Amino acid sequence: MGGTVSKITNFLLPDKIHTIFVSIFTPMRFSDIPGNAKEKKALIYEAREKRVSHAQLFLGPEGSAKLSLSIAFAAYLLCDSPGQTDSCGVCPHCQKVSNLVHPDLHFVFPVVLSKEEKVSTSDDRLKEWNAFVLKNPYFDLNGWQMHLDEMGKNAVIGVEESRHILQKLSLKSYSGKYKIMILWLPEKMNNQAANKLLKMLEEPPEETLFFLLSDSIENLLPTIISRTQLLKIAPFETDDIAYFLETKFSVDKTVSYSIAGLAQGNMVEAVQMVSGDENQHIYFDFFVKMMRTAYAANAFELMNLSEELAALEKEQQKNFVRYGLHLFRESVILNYMKGELVNLRNEERAFLEKFAKFINNQNISELNEEFNLAHYHLERNANAKILFTDLMIKLTKLIKKGV
Ligand SMILES: [Zn+2]
């Protein structure tokens, strides 16, 4: 089942919102990135004081602004007339960076190696990469692989890549300034590639900057870490995510804050929540089954359902849990406000009109707590089978409380 469920659900917005989700993120300047004031200041300070390290580690959790900050920083460094707080945005260098066609700006990222498809390095996926980043620089490895329709396959930065990196960096700089190599997820380098990179960091080619963008420092060679200057990127603030959703997706404050709250600093998840709706029906079906099973306290069905949920991709499991939270919230609104403000599709409304009465003061806060907790544990790679079984058992008790 997992393979057929490919995109992320939308569950909070009416359908018309999706159509305005086109390329709304470019150009990439510091001012295009919400929040991150401290990080921007540190980068600009480095540039203005001419203290740019030849190897910089952008370390931040999934869904932080690593990629957009590194591109904005590249633009700032290559710009003809950078200002106090941002690149000019109009010079030829800025233009080229914002279209990701600047000859001094290079990207390396994990790809699924394939002989048949002739994929051995990032360059073989560069077209797809550029299009994807231009559309939205907030994505994770999972999103990148979904884009390529390569979910669940092993994406790596292979040894062949290091040869390509050396080749590119041996060229003369086009701008007469820096050559910039942005390595997205260096933790995906295999050992050989990592060792080659280490050599490059030890003896960097002239006027070359390496930006390493990493989710987790644990999977990087200590020798690589020690050769880089560390810049920690904080998760996004709730206000910044909400503002971003309001301005880029034209959603109202209630929606933007409820998404931002669920996203917990992760912009990738926030953007996923407002875009794409392919899986809504699947999540809805699961939700209905889950509630009926819990209501009937059917142990056999409960095990079956836990297994089905455990078979989904991790992202889908998280989306499903968030979807559940959304329907709980809408149920309460339906109960107490007679449905004027609910944001539901027809099938959802039809189901909740009968079911919502079981979600009430007796159980809503515990239901929210359990589902939030499940989401928390899924993020941390809990065993999904155990987690969903446990959740189902708790749900069975909680639904009883509401009857
Ligand atoms: Zn410029």
Tell me, what's the pLDDT at 110? Answer: 97
Q: Where are the beta strands (DSSP E) in 63-199?
A: 105-108, 179-184
3-state DSSP assignment of residue 156: strand
Question: Where residue 18 falls among pLDDT bands split at 50, 70, 90?
Answer: very low
The structure tokens listed for 354 are 């009968």
What is the pLDDT of the chain when averaged over all its residues? 86
- Stretch 115-119: mean pLDDT, rounded? 90
Q: Say what the pLDDT of residue 274 is.
A: 79
- Residue 276 pLDDT grade (very low, low, confident, very high; cuts 50, 70, 90): low
Share of the chain above pLDDT 90, in %: 57
Q: Note the pLDDT tens digit of each residue in 359-387.
A: 999 999 999 999 999 999 998 889 999 99
pLDDT digits (tens, 9 = 90+) for 294-325: 999 999 999 999 999 999 888 889 889 988 98
**210 C-alpha to center of ligand 1: Å?**
21
Residues with CB under 5 A from ligand 1 (ion): 79, 87-88, 91, 94
Distance between Cα 103 and ligand 1 center (Å): 15
Q: In 211-279, which ranges are continuous DSSP H helix?
A: 222-225, 238-249, 253-263, 267-274
Centre of ligand 1 from the C-alpha of residue 363, in Å: 56
Residue 253 in this model has a pLDDT that exceeds 50: yes
Instruction: Please compute, for residue 21, the number of CA atoms within 13 A of its CA located in the half-sphere on the CB side.
Output: 19
Sign of CA dihedral 45, 109, 151, 377: negative
Q: How far is the CA of 29 from the centre of ligand 1 (A)?
A: 10
Full set of structural domains in the chain with CATH: 22-232 (3.40.50.300), 279-402 (1.20.272)
Per-residue three-class SS string for 24-69: CCCCCCHHHCCCCHHHHHHHHHHHHCCCCCCEEEEECCCCCCHHHH
Q: Is the pTM of this model over 0.95?
A: no
Instruction: Output the CA 57–ligand 1 centroid distance in Å.
Output: 24
C-alpha 81 to ligand 1 mean position (Å)? 5
* 11 contacts 283 by C-beta, under 8 angstroms: yes
Listed range (73-77, 132-136, 234-238) with the worst mean pLDDT? 132-136
Give the number of other Cβ atoms within 10 Å of residue 221's Cβ. 16
254 or 191, greater pLDDT: 191
Above 90 in pLDDT, residue 283? no
The runs of H, that is alpha helices, within 79-117 are: 92-98
1 Cα–ligand 1 center, Å: 48
> For 48-71, how does the pLDDT look when each residue is reduced to its tens digit (9 = 90+)?
999 999 999 999 999 999 999 999
